[in-house]
Amino acid sequence: EAQVTQNPRYLITVTGKKLTVTCSQNMNHEYMSWYRQDPGLGLRQIYYSMNVEVTDKGDVPEGYKVSRKEKRNFPLILESPSPNQTSLYFCASSSPATNEKLFFGSGTQLSVL
């Protein structure tokens, strides 16, 4: 089954404790991106990647890092999480073959205390 898999689904952590949210897609998509969803603000792009080893900042990149060492994986790293990073996070992927359609993961609800 074609899918984007995020883990974990829920995460509670404390300020300053490094964490990684994983994202993997099995559709051989070139393009992957991370969004955060906050009430009243919709989805805002954090980082995106056009292909392996090619990443760039989105609209709200501060406090986040990403890497794209393999085509299928695009982890989101919070080196020193802060309470303002409490949010619902989504990974998405697409390719020229999807005609601009984004495929989303099920989301990761992060709470930073």
Partner 1 sequence: GNSVTQMEGPVTLSEEAFLTINCTYTATGYPSLFWYVQYPGEGLQLLLKATKADDKGSNKGFEATYRKETTSFHLEKGSVQVSDSAVYFCALSDQSGGYQKVTFGTGTKLQVIP
CB of 38 to partner 1, least distance (A): 9
User: Cβ 55 to partner 1, closest distance in Å?
Assistant: 11
Residues of the shown chain interacting with partner 1 in the complex, contacts defined by CB under 8 A: 4, 31, 33, 35, 40-45, 48, 50, 90, 92, 94, 99-102, 104-107
Do residues 81 and 19 lie in contact, with contact meaning Cβ atoms separated by under 8 Å? yes
When the beta carbons of 77 and 103 are compared against partner 1, the nearer one is 103
Return d(Cα 30, Cα 48) in angstroms, integer. Answer: 11
Whole-angstrom Cα distance, residue 89 to residue 57?
Answer: 16
Cβ of residue 25: shortest distance to partner 1, in angstroms? 12
- For partner 1, the closer CB: 4 or 21: 4
Angular region, 63: left φ>0, alpha ψ -120 to 50, beta rest: left
